[in-house]
Amino acid sequence: AGTQLCRLQQDNRPLSFGDVIHLWRTNPEFAAFFAQLLVASPYRDFRWETPPLTIASLGQSFEFALHNSPGLAPFPQKTAFAPQFAAQPGNEPAIAFSNLGGDAILVVPRPLVDDAHYRHLASFCRGAPAEQQIALWQLVGEQMAERVGDRPVWLSTAGGGVAWLHVRLDDRPKYYRHGPYRQLPHRP
């Protein structure tokens, strides 16, 4: 198994959640850097989780956990999100929509290259086109900026149920593995 916890700094200063969300949305170089940071993980296959976030915790230091997940999503399921891709025609490299239960927003990349690159976040960051990786993180940033409020948002990827990358903005820590991140955020 194994879990790696990561924090980000810029100019010897911790980046906050608000900083990272802003940078994902507005700075393609940062989005590309973030994807490359994930590529450097010691794990071939991993799940990605952040602590729960509210408007009150935007100033806290950004951090995330990577969970070693050998064999995660071995066979990509392109058809899993085919109805959502069809419902949002166009050439956007990633789309966002509500899950079936209505308690999460999913950010999902369209199939642009070999399906194997869309199995989970690790395969996506290692093989999808750089422009698509940037677009995914920009959309994650936009969705987080819209969704963060008084109620906590859990931002993660899982992939155990559907073998196609989907970043989850969830009302609860549905598939979380890192115990401390399952807890409600404490007030700063």
pLDDT in tens, 10-46: 999 999 999 999 999 999 999 999 999 999 999 999 9
pLDDT in tens, 122-172: 999 999 999 999 999 999 999 999 999 999 999 999 867 889 999 999 999
DSSP string for 93-107:
SEEEEE-TTSSEEEE
pTM summary value: 0.95
- Assign 14 to helix, strand or coil: strand
Distance from C-alpha of 25 to C-alpha of 86, rounded to nearest angstrom: 25
The dihedrals phi and psi of 7, each to the nearest 5 degrees, come to: -130, 155
Distance from C-alpha of 71 to C-alpha of 76, rounded to nearest angstrom: 12
Secondary-structure percent of the chain, ordered helix, strand, coil, rounded to 5: 35, 20, 40
Distance from C-alpha of 188 to C-alpha of 67, rounded to nearest angstrom: 27
pLDDT score, position 158: 82
pLDDT score, position 72: 87
pLDDT score, position 1: 66
